[in-house]
Structure 1
Amino acid sequence: MAHKVADSIQRFMAPGPKPNGLQAAEDGLWIIDQGDHHVYKVDWNTGETLHDIPTETVHSSGITLGDGYIWIASTYSCEIFQVEMETGKTVQKYPSPGAGINATREHLDKTAGRRSQPTGDHGLEWKDGHLYVASPPSQFVHVMDVRRWKEVHRMKTPGFRVHGLAWAKEEGQVWIADTSFGVVSRHRLEDGRCYDAFRVEDPVQVHGMTMGKDNRLWYADDRGPIGFLSVNMEPDF
């Protein structure tokens, strides 16, 4: 049986230097940029910037919308930011549930500088007052009750560098992108059971990921490209 491999269809370049998180919305595609720390909303078809706001986040890696706010994983400050949609003003900051040292960096000592220090979370999703947080250091998706900022569930992720996170059409399931492995897989949140997977070949690296309004997985490569993954998302094995 052949492995499933996605065709990466680039649509446009991101407006910022390092797009690292995506969130789909009816009126545009939201991007958090790790380089300039801005949030952009762009047109689905042209990539034209519709909204551009600065944030106080630090090298961020995930973005979602919920309860009238933007939620951002501020990776290098190990925090989750709640910000105003119109201005980018910080409303509240919460500790990253999965902060720690990435498995691939555990062997480094202090001479490695920032690479040896803890980092925070990446991909985010929102549903019914809960924030779903993909964390490379912990290798879990953490489910946070936002009102109490308390973890109510966690799901072990495959691989060692989970990044993008997106809702699947199947109830209670998510798509997960492991940037280092070049694999996107579909899992049941309840217990992590895997139902489908496909590869994304070099040179494309899936950092941000979201389910578009066209029912396709859209990706952000942090070197600039934004596009979608053309692949049959029905298991064929």
Structure 2
Amino acid sequence: MATTALRTVHAKVIFKGPAIQVNGLEAVAEGLWVSDQQNDQTYLIDYSGKILTSFHSPARNASGTSFGSGSVWVASNVKPSMVFRHNPYTGQCLAAIHLPNPEKGGVHGIQWRPFELGVKPHPAPEPEPQIFPTAHGGALNAGPGVSGTLWVTRPGTNVIDHIDAETAEVLGQIPFPVSRSHGLYWENDTLVVVETNHNHVYRLDPANGNVLDEWQITGVPEAHAMSRSADGRVWI
């Protein structure tokens, strides 16, 4: 039976990254948010590569970056796996969440999305009395649904987690067909994810993980971070 050759797309260098080993990437109107896993610095660069701003993150081995709900989100690919939320203007760390099963699976890529496609936040928990009513410690978080969602690639477990960005509660999970999933972006209500071993890119149904399309990136030894800008260009 005849087989169809895998479609390939060749990458070309536009500019060098702002640091040693960029491993997180998110395209926005102003340019690209990028995080470096060697110095744990996050940068906003324009589409010519000029640095517009930067800040240091508590994330270690920073391996995923996204923008949404007015914040920059940076993933930490060490145990325990975490995501840190930052003010994009000052770099101040606003919050930190532990991922599901934080001691295994790792985290390579994250993508912020609003609640959509029928996905709803979990109900808010019943309020509990303060242990020390006269010295309020503050709530753990602002409650389910207020900060959108995060899709998180978990290469060590061959799954992609969908979590509430405020509470880290699991909203869903889909399988990934191979190991070492990494960067991801959305296209027409489908999730596009790259794997690093062979630079294959999979377009997935976010409801069940079914593979809708597959292609391969050539011209780079390993594709790690990945994002798509509004003009249709895919950045790696």
- TM normalised by structure 1 equals 0.79
Q: Is 1:140 paired with 2:159? A: yes
Aligned to 1:53, the other structure's residue is in SS state strand
More strand by share: 1
Give 1:31's aligned residue: 34
Give 1:47's aligned residue: 49
The correspondence of residues 200-211 of structure 1 with structure 2, limited to 5 A, is: 200-201=217-218, 203-211=220-228
Give 1:67's aligned residue: 69
Unaligned runs of 5+ in 2: 115-147
Q: Is 1:17 paired with 2:20? A: yes
Number of residue-to-residue matches in the alignment: 199
Equivalent pair of 1:98/1:135 in contact (CA under 8 Å):
no
The Cα shift of 1:202 comes to 5.8
RMSD: 1.5
Identical-pair percentage: 26
Give 1:79's aligned residue: 82
Aligned to 1:91, the other structure's residue is in SS state strand
The Cα shift of 1:123 comes to 0.9
Letter in 1 for 2:169: K
Unaligned runs of 5+ in 1: 103-119, 220-237
Q: Distance in 1 between matches of 2:166 and 2:52?
A: 30
Could you give the per-residue CA deviations for residues 130-169 of structure 1, whole angstroms, max 9, x where no partner exists?
Answer: 111111122111111123320011111111110111111x
Q: Is 1:197 paired with 2:199? A: no
Give 1:230's aligned residue: none
Equivalent pair of 1:98/1:138 in contact (CA under 8 Å):
no
The Cα shift of 1:121 comes to 0.8
Q: Distance in 2 between matches of 1:49 and 1:98?
A: 35
More helix by share: 1
Aligned to 1:50, the other structure's residue is in SS state strand
Aligned to 1:11, the other structure's residue is in SS state coil
